[in-house]
Amino acid sequence: MRGRRRVVVWKFTDGKAGHEKQSLGLVQALTQLAPLEVHVFDVRFMPVLWRQLRGHALHGEVDVPIPDLIIGAGTRTHLPMLLSRLICGGKVIVLMKPSLPHRLFDLVFVPRHDRCLRKGNIVETRGVICPQAEAEKRDSAGLILLGGANRHLEWRSEDIAWQVERIASAAPDITWRVCDSRRTPAGFGAALPRLANVDYRHWRDVASDFVANELAAARYVWVTADSASMLYEALSAGAAVGVIVLKRKRPRRSDKLSRGIRLLTMQGHVYLSSDGYRLQDSLAPPHFFSEARRCAGIVAQRFFKQPTAAAKRWRLA
């Protein structure tokens, strides 16, 4: 890594919320290890990137310095990131199983459930990288996060609403804030139980940072089994996490969502609704170390000129 005060990061996004959270989580963790100068390129608006690359290639007018790190998630970001390295240099870091040969990239973070062979530049992660929400937990704060239809799992609104009622009834001393998502079937809110400790919020009616703020404060979080990114966000936030079980469409076929949840259950990180609904009596204190921090430590160890002691600790966590 070049010897300069700030680490210049070009962060690529394709506009998809899940991909954006992954790159944001890594960048957020890296800021705790070194001062960063972050520039964002949206691959849906390529002329912005072309102008910068043309300026650097021809030594013309540019708005951003050459990158030290080029970070992105999503298939559409891969070629633009590689082209940026070809013209400007830097290290390309991909936060998913790549659509192109892995050897083209400098570092690849792949979730364990994607079953990618571990090689020199491939690092296996426990689920997806995500931002880490930190705040003082409220003992009476509970959060229920709902996904929706999925190609591996069945979504039955009546069954989900019944499970929400069971969760709320099992812990009447906790206020359960129920948040749906873009994938939740329209009209789902009408099926929810009318209980004093259930507060339903539609995703269109809240601010963009609403869920992140709720995750930071919630002591207990339930997540439907289809919502992998929200599951790992809840774990990274230090909450006790339960998984609302959904029926699998092909029970005899393994899928990456089920594999990931099975592993987390075996390790004692999550609790399944099929085993009961009183989360606060069922799990050991949260001990899930943030993958964003661990991966940031690996980046610093490999590419920073002088990695900090924190980077070394995080890498080994």
Instruction: Tell me the per-residue pLDDT of 116-133, one tens digit each, with 9 for 90 and over.
Output: 666 678 998 877 788 876
Q: What pLDDT is recorded for position 28?
A: 92
Q: What pLDDT is recorded for position 94?
A: 95
Q: What number is the average pLDDT over the span 165-171?
A: 95
Res 288 pLDDT > 70? yes
Q: Where on the phi/psi map is residue 67: left (φ > 0), alpha (ψ -120 to 50), or beta?
A: beta
Q: How confident is the model at residue 311 (pLDDT cuts 50, 70, 90)?
A: low
Whether the CB-CB separation of 188 and 180 falls below 8 Å is answered with yes
Q: How confident is the model at residue 166 (pLDDT cuts 50, 70, 90)?
A: very high
**Percent of the chain at pLDDT exceeding 70:** 90
Q: How far is CA 65 from CA 5, 43, 90, in A?
A: 13, 19, 11
Query: Which residues, other chains included, contact 309 with Cβ-Cβ below 8 Å and sequence gap of 6+?
Result: none
Least Cα distance to 76 among 46, 103, 120, 106 occurs for: 46
Least Cα distance to 254 among 149, 148, 113 occurs for: 113
CATH 3.40.50.2000 residue ranges in the chain? 138-281
Whether the CB-CB separation of 164 and 198 falls below 8 Å is answered with yes
Res 233 pLDDT > 90? no
Q: How confident is the model at residue 46 (pLDDT cuts 50, 70, 90)?
A: very high
Of the two residues 149 and 89, the one the predictor is more confident about is: 89
DSSP H or E run through 22: helix 17-30
Q: What pLDDT is recorded for position 259?
A: 81
Instruction: Show the tokens assigned to 55.
Output: 């300026």
Q: How confident is the model at residue 51 (pLDDT cuts 50, 70, 90)?
A: very high
Q: How confident is the model at residue 85 (pLDDT cuts 50, 70, 90)?
A: very high
Beta-sheet pairing, 36-42 with 7-13: parallel
Of the two residues 11 and 264, the one the predictor is more confident about is: 11
CATH 3.40.50.2300 residue ranges in the chain? 7-131+291-315
pTM of the model: 0.78
The CATH class of the 138-281 domain is alpha beta
The CATH class of the 7-131+291-315 domain is alpha beta
